[in-house]
Amino acid sequence: MVMPNPAPARGNVYTHATYAHIIGWGMAVPERVMTNDDLSAIVETDNEFIFQRTGIRERRIASDKESTATLALKAAQNALNIADILPIELDLIIVATSTPEYVFPSTASIVQNWLGATKAGAFDMSAACSGFVYALDMAAQAIRTRSITTALVIGAETMSRILDWSDRSTCILFGDGAGAVVLRASSTPGGVLSTILRSDGSGWDSLCVPGIGSRDLTGGGIEPNGHKPFRMYMDGPEVFRFATRVVSESIQQAVSNAGLKLDDIKLIVPHQANVRIIQSSARALKIDESRFMVNLDKYGNTSAASIPIALVEAVQQGRLKENDYTAFVGFGGGLAWGATVVKWGSPKLKVEDRSLLKGQRRQLSYTFAGVRTRWRKLVKTVTDLFERLRPRTGRMKRLRERVSRL
Ligand code: UT7
C-alpha cells in the first residue's frame, strides 16, 4: 500500500491542509541491565560473538513489577511533558506491541485509563517490529483527515517475557523498553510527510510466537511447525536477508513519495535489530553509516519500541534540528515492513495553549485516574452487595449507571 503524498512537494502550496507534527517524545527502559557476559552464564555464547555478529553489548530486562503497560505509561508521560499537553487533550492512543498486557483489553486502554485520558479512543497495533511505523501512519492519517487533533503513539515491549532463554540464536538479541510520541494537527506544512507500508505473509513462520491464536486453539495441540508455545521462534539468517533487502527499498520509496531526495534526509532512524543490517543498508543506499541512528549496543532489539527509543536519543544528542528531514524504517514479523519520512520541528503552540501549571495538572490527572478506577470498583462492590441482599431496584440500577458515567 503506497500512501498518496499528503504534503506539498517542494514548490507547491496547499491551502487549508492539515499536517501531523511530532510535538512530544519520551522513552522508558527498565533499570536492570543484562550484559553479554551475563548471557554467557545462561546459554553457550560469549561477548565477542554477540558484539561482532550484532553490535549489541547489553539490553534492559523488566523486573517482576514492570510490564509493557508500565513502560508504555512512563514513556507516554515523558512525551506529554515535552509536548506540554494534558492527557484530556488526547483523542487517540495507539500502542504498537507484540507483548501486550493481555489479549484484551488492549494495552492502549490500560494506558489511557492510567493517564486519565478520558476523551481518547485506544487500541493496540500488531505489526511486530514495524508496529511503530504502522501506528504512526494510522494516527497521522486520522489527523490529516481531521478526524482527530491529538494522538499518542507508543511502541512498547517486554520481549524478555516471550524469549526462549535456552535458544542462543534469539535470546541474545532482544530487550525491553518503550518509546512514545505525541502527534498534533497544525496548518504549518511538515510533520509526517509520507509512508510506505508493506507485508509478505508468505514468510509468516520465519518469525513467530505461537500461543493463543485461533490457529493454536483448535484442539490439535499448540505447536505449529514444532515451535514452543508462547516463545519466539526466528529463522535469523532468513530474516536477515529479508531485512537487508527491504530497508533500502522502502526508504527510497518513502523519500521519493515525500518529493525529496535521499540527500535531503539528515538522519535515518531504523529498527534496531542488528548493526550489520544497518551497515548493509547504508552500502545499498550508498550513504555513510553515520547518517543512521544506532543505539542497539545499549538496548538490543526492543521490537516496536526500538524506533521511538532511538528517536528520543537522537533528539537528546542534538542530531535532529528544526526543519531537518528524517526517515524511520521498521521490519520484522509478518513479514511486514514500513518506512516514513518526517519533517522535524514542531510548530510553536499558541501562547494560550501553554497555560500555567500544566505539569501539576498532568500529575493530578494521573492521581485522579487511579482514584477514579478504585472508586468505580468500590461502587460496583457495594451495589453488587445491595443487589444480592435486596431484589434489583431501579434506584440501584440508576446509581450504577450514574457512577459509570463519572
Ligand atoms: O526484529 C526482527 C528482525 N530481526 C532481525 O532482523 C534479525 C535478523 N538476523 C540476524 O540478525 C542474524 O541472523 C543473527 C544475529 C540472528 C544470527 O547471526 P548469523 O551470522 O546469521 O548466524 P547464524 O544463525 O548463521 O549462525 C552462525 C553460527 C552457527 O554455528 P554453526 O552452525 O556455523 O556451527 C550458530 O550455531 O553461530 C552459532 N551461533 C552462536 N554462537 C555463539 C548462533 N547464535 C550463537 C550465539 N553464540 N549466541
Q: Give the mean pLDDT of the chain.
A: 90
Q: Which residues line ligand 1 (CB under 6 A)?
A: 45, 49-50, 53-54, 129, 168-169, 172-173, 236-237, 239-240, 243, 273-274, 277, 301, 303, 332
pLDDT for 294 equals 98
Return the pLDDT at 351. 47
Q: Is residue 160 part of a domain?
A: yes
> What is the pTM (predicted TM-score) of this model?
0.91
For the stretch 271-316, pLDDT in tens is 999 999 999 999 999 999 999 999 999 999 999 999 999 999 999 9
Is there a domain that residue 335 lies in?
yes
By DSSP bridging, strand 33-35 and strand 58-60 are antiparallel
Tell which one of 169, 176, 234, 335 to mutate to probe ligand 1, the residue whose CB is within 8 A of the most ligand atoms.
169
Q: Establish whether 129 is a catalytic residue.
A: yes
Position 353 confidence tier, pLDDT thresholds 50, 70, 90: low
- Residue 249 is assigned to a structural domain of this protein: yes
Tell me, yes or no, whether 342 and 395 share the same domain.
Answer: no
Each residue's pLDDT tens digit, 54-94? 999 999 999 999 999 999 999 999 999 999 999 999 999 99
Domain count, the chain: 2
Residues 319, 393 within the same domain: no
Q: In angstroms, rounded to a whole number, what is the distance separating the alpha carbons of residues 271 and 294?
A: 9
What are the beta bridge partners of residue 22? Answer: 183
Residues 6+ apart with CB under 8 A from 392: none
Distance from CA of residue 368 to its chain's centroid?
26
Catalytic residue among 78, 271, 274, 295: 271
The residue from 335, 352, 369 where one domain ends is: 352
Determine whether 301 is an active site residue: yes
Q: Report the first-to-last Cα separation within the chain, whole angstroms.
A: 41
Give tens-digit pLDDT for 169-212: 999 999 999 999 999 999 999 999 999 999 999 999 899 998 87
Q: Using the atom order of ligand 1, give the atom closest to the CA of residue 172.
A: 48
The confidence score (pLDDT) of residue 391 equals 60
Residue 392 lies in a domain: yes
The domain boundary, picked from 327, 352, 377, lies at 352
Residue 368 has pLDDT above 90, yes or no: yes
> Domain for residue 154, yes or no?
yes
The reported pLDDT for the residue numbered 187 is 93
Query: Quick one: pLDDT at residue 380?
Result: 85
Domain that holds residue 209: 19-352
Nearest CA to ligand 1 atom 14: 236
Q: Which residues contact 167 (CB under 8 A, 6 or more apart)?
A: 43, 231
Please count the other Cβ atoms lying within 10 Å of the Cβ belonging to residue 291: 16
Least confident stretch, 92-106, 156-170, 379-393? 379-393
Same domain, 241 and 219: yes
Grade residue 9 by pLDDT with cuts at 50, 70 and 90.
very low
Q: How far apart are CA 292 and CA 305, in angstroms?
A: 17
